[in-house]
Structure 1
Amino acid sequence: MKQLRQIKSTVKSRGGIITSVSALVILLFVSAVPFAIKHGALFWLTSKGMEARIDNVDVNLFAGTLVVEGVHLRAQSGEASSLERFGVNLAMTDLVRKRLRIQSLHIDGLDLMVRQDTSLMAGGFPISTGEPHAEPPARDDKESKTPWHVGVDTFTARNTSVNLSLPKLDLVIALEDASLTGLSTWKPEQVSRLEITGALNKSPLLVSLDLVPFGPETSVQGGVQLTDFALSPFSGLAAPRVAALEGELTVDTRFTITQAPEAGTTLSQTGTLSLSHVGGHLTDPAVTLRDAGITWLGDVWVALDKDGTLTDLRTLGSLSNGKLDIAYPEGGIRLRHEGIVWDGELSFDPSRKDGLAARGNLSVRQALASDSETDVKIASLAHFFAYDIKAKGLADIRVPHISLKKLAALPPLSEIGSVDITGMALEELSHLRAETFIIDDVVTTLVRDPSGRLTFFNTLNSLTAFHWGDSAPAPSEAEVPNTPPPAPRPIVTAKINTFRISGSPFLHLTDRSVRPVFEKGVTLKRLEIQNIDTADPDKDLPLSLVAELDTYETLSVTGTVRPLAHDVSAHLEARVANINLSSLSPYSSQALGYLIKRGSFTADSTLDIDAGILDVRNQLTLRNLKLVPDDEDTAHQTMKNLSMPLDYALSILEDGNGTISLSIPVHGDIHNPDISLNSIIQVAMTKAITTASVSYLSFLLQPYGALLMVAEKAGEMVTEIHLDSVGYALGATEPNPEGLEYLKVVAGLMKKKEFLNLTVCANAVAEDLVTPEAPHGETPENADAPEAPEPPARERYLDLAQQRGRAIRHILAKEGIAPGRIHVCRPDFTVSAQKQPEAELTL
């Protein structure tokens, strides 16, 4: 027994020793692990050329915890990285179930540089993507059929900064507080939560997301807020297409993304996306964008099939371009506005031909087009609003009401108070309809400078010369590409039930080319045309016009027109009443040499145009007209044209009450006639009594200016119309070929105007009578014959001139002109200063 007890005692003693030794070994191992990890890491970092310091490493293998504190690294390139604290806690008991479960992972005070040059570097360490490893051979054992799972109960990161430097992009991601909870692959339908508070390039960033990344239907749902994120770091990515990119991005939105293997992907978004102060220079074409902004506030829903093809798109909300300033120097234009807003809904179904649909309102505020260099205003618009737009594809677009306010073109040339269009519809982008098209408060300002040129033409010419002074050379035939002709564009037709325009004053004219300066205003009470239809150009359109030139000076027109027909047709009744002629004295003095002391003008006209043939009946009345001489030279020239003083010519036409009444019919073809009737009428107009009023009324009151010019041809009874001269070859009695052709034109005119008579005054020049010398060494025929006696030179001149005049009379008689209408004058004994034989024609 004693021996047995000794054996047991010995065994117990040895067991205690083994246990103690084992415990000591384990204790030494556990104590050595942190030391080994720390110094092993330092040795490895040093071997990689890093300057490294680790303040503390704490490992608890039984609890599954690892804590590293105070890590400071500096690479040979000078990049410094640091980590204040790293802690991880593994659930050791889950390893037996093939689950790598991280109960907590904490990072605090990380400062890391990630850079990519020739390779990707993190904290100075190269990160190799490496080659893909070959998959290990498949195993049929039971263990291989049970996959490993990974999960994170809680991940947190605080005071962390990652500097990302790519070849064309630099980003700084600062995480003040970030957390991820509930992420595990063995619970695929569990919702994980991601929360981030930080900054992206110093722009505040908030992220709150619910994630289901491992389920049969993956999803992301939550919100993102990013405030005033600068776009300038993306300049490298935008180059070379865009230079000097600038602007800010603001995001405040919630969204949901779901993806199913068979159903595809859906995305829904609600909130705000905004770009502000966007600017840059587009290189091709050269366009400069300044201080632009665009904001989306609303909902978006997008569906993609499993192949990523769009199947549905819907939006509801407001898309606004708050400000725009864009310059296009090549085109010489700069565009600005202070707001474009689309407020409504839009949908797109790619499976349908008319799958695009929209409904909403569109508005524009303070739009301006100006010259890109001089900033001269070209056109402006205060407000545009299209109400309740309804679009079904491009085949059917309807807008109940369109309103435009305060339009201007080349201010102050033309300004429009408002434009209202109702009941507008556009079908197939080719058929436009509108119930009413009303333009109100039109003001047009025309100014003639002292040289007589309209000032807005000067502005246009200066802009054109500035931008397009040197036109590009035309390409040669070899340089022109052999491209197929473009497809024909669809013919656009328009139908407007009522078109109306008014303005007070509609037109204001200032003429500085005369003295005193002339100023006149015209008020357009109403111009209305009904039932406009470009598809039916031969339909009569009712027209009415009422205007005032002054309180008592009126113009009214009623009737029908066909302005769109191939040959313009019209039937109009018009009245111009009580036009005060004294205000036109600057023009009458300039044209006639007389001032209009007093007088008024009234006209009642019936105008018919049938397929371009004009038939006008005018009843014209001049009352109490009194002229006084002003410019002696011009008045003398007027008297020469009229063959008597102008005031005497008017006295012939006046009745006992000082009234001149003329009934003047006008007939003719408004197209270019075979006979140059227009040029002859223009000659007659220069001798008309009221040239000044023609300058004014023909400018303002077309077609009445043309009617008046014809009507006041009454003075023609005492004037002459000088035509172009007919030329001859030296010594010839028959006109030259050009003269023969011209005489046919004159004959045609005289056939149409049988009341016209023609006077022919021919001449002869000294060269007509010079005998050409014989060539040197030759003897003229009949040189020995006796010379006939020559008549006196005066008689030879007159005889040749008379033969030329009679030849013209004979030619015109053969053309059907009665000889009694052709008078051949006896020329004076003169020699042409130009030494050209010719015949002067006077009607």
Structure 2
Amino acid sequence: MSALVLLAFFTAVPVAVKHATLSWLKNNGMDEARIDNVDVNLFAGTLAVDGVHLHAENGTTNALQHFSVNLAMTDLARKRVRIESLRIEGLDLSARLVEALSIGGFTLPSESPATEPRITPDESDKKPWHIGIDSLTVRDTALAFAVPKLDLALALDDLSLTHLHSWNPAQEARLEVKGSLNKSPLLISLDLAPFAADTSVQGGIQLTDFALAPFTKVAEPHVTDLDGKLTIDTRIAFTRALESGTTLSQTGTLSLTDLSGRLTDPGVDLKALDLTWLGDVWVALDPAEKMTDLRTLGSLANGRLDAAYPAMGLRLRHEGVVWDGELSHTPSQKDGLAARGNLSVKQALASDSDTDVKIASLSHFFAYDIKAKGLNTIRVPHISLKGISALPPLSSIGSVDITAMALNNLSHLRADTLIVDDVATTLVRDPAGRLTFFNTINSLTAFHGNESAPSSTDTTAPGGAPPAPLAVKINTFRISGDDFLHLTDRSVTPVFEKEVSLKRLELLDIDTTAPDRDLPLTLEAELDTYETFSVTGTVRPLAPDVTAHLKARVANINLSCLSPYCSQALGYLIKTGSFTADSTLDINAGVLDINNQLTLRNLRLVPDDEETVDQVMKNLTMPLDYALSILEDNNGTISLSIPVHGDIHDPDINLNSIIQIATAKAITTASVSYLSFLLQPYGALLMVAEKAGEMITEIHLDPVGYELGATEPDPAGLEYLKVVAGLMKKKEFLNLTVFANAVPEDLSSEPEAAEETPTEASGELPAPEDKTLYMDLARQRASTIRHILAKEGIAPGRIHVSRPNFIVSKQQKPEAVLTL
């Protein structure tokens, strides 16, 4: 009978459990509930449930294909709840957290504040209960989690947990997970020791292409339109000790790909970003959860960036920024931040955010073996930049190399060398005379006024003084470029084109803290194969006022290509010519003291613009082509000295006027001086017939002397006329006017008596009653000079005889005045 009772009891238990469960489910929010089978064995400690289907009042549906649990009943005697096996298959469960947590359609009551249970002395001495599980298996399970602004779906293809026992805390449990999170493949393999005195977790986690778009609402309002993918392939190790604190380490890869979104502050449109960490991270926290140490070793790669900053009108792109090295941070130390490694950038580009017009680009950047100790000391042995361009084709730089760079306290920067190679600049002037790159600049949004753009001029901290300027020291600064400058000027006819090759521009001992120091300067350039330009000396480029002491040489410059500019400046076109100049420049605090020695060869000018010629002549006072012709030697060479003096700070004088006046004065003075030189030893009394503001039209030479009564010049005069003839042969544009005279003594038979003739009160001798003989004598003297010069090869048409003159003066001698 008892056996029948027991049989009936054990038979009724599963049925009772099933019906009680269904009744409870329907009384707690389930519209529909079905359980296909329940199997309970109290002696064996097993429970199995199959075919659970639930439909809640809020529309939620849940299902469970199979659930089974097997308890080790004998362990209950030792206060151990030991689950030998727990198996879940085909679970489809949803959970939602709004105001309260709802799981599978069941709304859980809000928890009241927990109160510590009252433990009596006797209870505290009792042996505690333990719990453990030998094996947990979950398969073909789908869990949906919904919290405000975020939905997550976890699919568990296979989950296993083994050997998790609280009574054996040192034993590590094993957790293996294979599944997906929001359809992204997920693999987890961990060794756990949650009950140990030093809690530990270690193992590997793999999550592939996890979509970030579901987190859009979470990221708002700071980030909108979030998108991208997260991939994790790493090993982690976590240890927490009550006395020593917590350590966390990571080894492996973390990456973000195709990340995009809009950062509302500062208003950046992130179009694409790839970020990958490959390496090790180690973090230590004290018992109060405060970080005490951080160390990293590995590579952080920003493989791609495409971001727009509309407020600044900029769009930034690159194909790789990589940090490869180690980093450590110890907050307790003053200089606890330290780093060492390499930094590289590949294919960086800045363009206009609206038009995408290229502003600047960089092919490659590499900083080798960076060493940093805090922000106080940063050392970089070598920095290399390749393929730099700005507003192409305006400017490009092949390479920049910086050696032995050091930055101290973010205020003092020094470097051994700064070498800039393969510099190329292209300048084009349009027909209106405007540089075309200004048109490009004006088309850029970045250069337009924008009220939303932050101001870069106000760098003063609130309530503080402006930051001190960065102190810079560079031992050697050098620039070179075979295609340094290509100039095209379409504002002149014909179009002007010129290329400049910069062989070397070198500046030594740069120090911004010593602006009054003289810096050695060397410059070597070529305008073509034979046209050269060089400068040596010292400058003070950092001084408040310009100061320099330089020697410059420009050699073999072809002038014909500069003809359009000569026409604009002087009113003349240059048919042929070249020049070489040697200059000494002394500039002291803006005061110019410059000496130029110019040599012009085969210079031929043609008048082109009369108005400009007239303006230049106001300063020159002599026709430019005549003045230059005077200066030419037998080889067609002109040597000219042009000193330039003035103060560039004088508001009434500009540098152009200083140079123009100095040039005009030099040409005039040199022309007259050169004539005097050609007439030596007879040119000592050379004078110009000039009045203020008038053009020079005559040059007075030394007079030709005569013996009394003679019609032919004296011996010295004859030699002098040969020199004049030689000058006129060299300068065929010159004409000669002869102005001869006669004096009373010329026809007096007794000169001694003449000397005793009483003079008038004015000091002049009394004039003879008949001047005809004297006038004839003067005319004969002039004709004789014309005849002598004609015999020397001077065309008679170039020799003009002026009206003869008779002078009654004791101081006058018989002579002929010559005027060119």
- Alpha-carbon shift at residue 468 of structure 1 (Å): 1.7
Change (3 A) 1:628 1:490: closer
- Alpha-carbon shift at residue 272 of structure 1 (Å): 0.4
Partner of 2:480: 502
Residues 620 and 711 in structure 1, CA contact (< 8 A), matched pair in contact too: no
Change (3 A) 1:610 1:135: closer
Residues 222 and 254 in structure 1, CA contact (< 8 A), matched pair in contact too: yes
Of 241, 248, 254, which aligns to 1:273? 254
- Alpha-carbon shift at residue 470 of structure 1 (Å): 7.2
Pairing of 1:206-605 with structure 2 (within 5 A): 206-463=187-444, 467-468=448-449, 484-605=462-583
Partner of 2:6: 26
Please give the per-residue CA displacement for 1:783-805, whole angstroms capped at 9, x wherever unaligned.
xxxxxxxxxxxxxxxxxxxxxxx
Change (3 A) 1:292 1:496: same
Change (3 A) 1:48 1:33: same
- Alpha-carbon shift at residue 611 of structure 1 (Å): 3.4
Alignment size in residue pairs: 672
Counterpart-to-counterpart distance in 1, 2:494 and 2:148: 73
Partner of 1:711: 663
Pairing of 1:107-256 with structure 2 (within 5 A): 107-132=88-113, 134-141=115-122, 145-256=126-237
Report the residue type matching 2:21 in the other structure. Answer: A
Residues 266 and 303 in structure 1, CA contact (< 8 A), matched pair in contact too: yes
1:35 aligns with 2:29: no
Residues 618 and 711 in structure 1, CA contact (< 8 A), matched pair in contact too: no
Question: The residue matched to 1:292 in structure 2 has which SS?
Answer: strand
Residues 208 and 224 in structure 1, CA contact (< 8 A), matched pair in contact too: yes
Residues 113 and 122 in structure 1, CA contact (< 8 A), matched pair in contact too: yes
Residues 638 and 645 in structure 1, CA contact (< 8 A), matched pair in contact too: no
Change (3 A) 1:623 1:759: closer
Please give the per-residue CA displacement for 1:240-284, whole angstroms capped at 9, x wherever unaligned.
111110010000000111000010001111100001100001112
Partner of 1:46: 26
- Alpha-carbon shift at residue 620 of structure 1 (Å): 1.3
Question: The residue matched to 1:486 in structure 2 has which SS?
Answer: coil
- Alpha-carbon shift at residue 44 of structure 1 (Å): 1.4
Counterpart-to-counterpart distance in 2, 1:631 and 1:614: 31
Counterpart-to-counterpart distance in 1, 2:337 and 2:286: 19
Question: The residue matched to 1:23 in structure 2 has which SS?
Answer: helix
Please give the per-residue CA displacement for 1:805-837, whole angstroms capped at 9, x wherever unaligned.
xxxxxxxxxxxxxxxxxxxxxxxxxxxxxxxxx
Please give the per-residue CA displacement for 1:692-750, whole angstroms capped at 9, x wherever unaligned.
xxxxxxxxxxxxxxxxx8435546789xxxxxxxxxxxxxxxxxxxxxxxxxxxxxxxx
Partner of 2:53: 72
Partner of 2:653: 677
- Alpha-carbon shift at residue 471 of structure 1 (Å): 9.1
Partner of 1:607: 585
Change (3 A) 1:205 1:656: same
Counterpart-to-counterpart distance in 1, 2:50 and 2:198: 40
Question: The residue matched to 1:677 in structure 2 has which SS?
Answer: coil
Counterpart-to-counterpart distance in 2, 1:575 and 1:157: 89
- Alpha-carbon shift at residue 489 of structure 1 (Å): 2.0
Counterpart-to-counterpart distance in 2, 1:471 and 1:325: 21
Counterpart-to-counterpart distance in 1, 2:658 and 2:245: 84
Residues 540 and 561 in structure 1, CA contact (< 8 A), matched pair in contact too: yes
Report the residue type matching 1:611 in the other structure. Answer: A
Please give the per-residue CA displacement for 1:168-188, whole angstroms capped at 9, x wherever unaligned.
111100000001111111111
- Alpha-carbon shift at residue 79 of structure 1 (Å): 1.2
Counterpart-to-counterpart distance in 2, 1:365 and 1:292: 14
Partner of 2:675: none
Please give the per-residue CA displacement for 1:423-461, whole angstroms capped at 9, x wherever unaligned.
111111112111111000000110111110111112222
Question: The residue matched to 2:334 in structure 1 has which SS?
Answer: coil
Change (3 A) 1:639 1:143: closer
Report the residue type matching 2:11 in the other structure. Answer: S
Residues 74 and 80 in structure 1, CA contact (< 8 A), matched pair in contact too: yes
Residues 299 and 315 in structure 1, CA contact (< 8 A), matched pair in contact too: yes
Counterpart-to-counterpart distance in 1, 2:548 and 2:621: 39
Counterpart-to-counterpart distance in 1, 2:480 and 2:630: 42
Tell me the percent identity. Answer: 68
Partner of 1:701: none
- Alpha-carbon shift at residue 683 of structure 1 (Å): 5.3
Change (3 A) 1:539 1:635: closer
Change (3 A) 1:242 1:136: closer
> Once superposed, what is the RMSD of the aligned Cα atoms?
2.6
Q: Return 5+ residue gaps in structure 1 as ranges.
A: 1-20, 475-479, 689-708, 719-755, 761-843
Please give the per-residue CA displacement for 1:614-665, whole angstroms capped at 9, x wherever unaligned.
2211111222111224456666776788677543343344344333222122
Residues 578 and 601 in structure 2, CA contact (< 8 A), matched pair in contact too: yes
Change (3 A) 1:270 1:473: closer
Counterpart-to-counterpart distance in 2, 1:305 and 1:141: 36
Change (3 A) 1:639 1:397: closer
Change (3 A) 1:160 1:717: same
Change (3 A) 1:192 1:324: same
- Alpha-carbon shift at residue 666 of structure 1 (Å): 1.9
Residues 444 and 506 in structure 1, CA contact (< 8 A), matched pair in contact too: yes
- Alpha-carbon shift at residue 144 of structure 1 (Å): 6.6
- State the TM-score, normalized to the length of structure 2: 0.78
Report the residue type matching 1:72 in the other structure. Answer: H
- Alpha-carbon shift at residue 472 of structure 1 (Å): 9.7
Residues 89 and 140 in structure 2, CA contact (< 8 A), matched pair in contact too: yes
Change (3 A) 1:126 1:716: farther
Residues 354 and 445 in structure 2, CA contact (< 8 A), matched pair in contact too: no
Please, which moves more after superposition, 39-48 or 419-428? 39-48
Change (3 A) 1:65 1:601: same
Residues 644 and 658 in structure 2, CA contact (< 8 A), matched pair in contact too: no
Residues 112 and 163 in structure 1, CA contact (< 8 A), matched pair in contact too: yes
Report the residue type matching 1:350 in the other structure. Answer: P
Partner of 1:103: 84
Please, which moves more after superposition, 630-639 or 510-519? 630-639
Report the residue type matching 1:22 in the other structure. Answer: S
- Alpha-carbon shift at residue 532 of structure 1 (Å): 1.5
Residues 613 and 667 in structure 1, CA contact (< 8 A), matched pair in contact too: yes
Change (3 A) 1:617 1:137: closer
Question: The residue matched to 2:333 in structure 1 has which SS?
Answer: coil
Partner of 1:89: 70
Report the residue type matching 1:552 in the other structure. Answer: Y
- Alpha-carbon shift at residue 43 of structure 1 (Å): 1.3
Residues 345 and 365 in structure 2, CA contact (< 8 A), matched pair in contact too: yes
Counterpart-to-counterpart distance in 2, 1:148 and 1:284: 55
Question: The residue matched to 2:176 in structure 1 has which SS?
Answer: strand
Residues 684 and 713 in structure 1, CA contact (< 8 A), matched pair in contact too: no
Counterpart-to-counterpart distance in 2, 1:264 and 1:470: 51
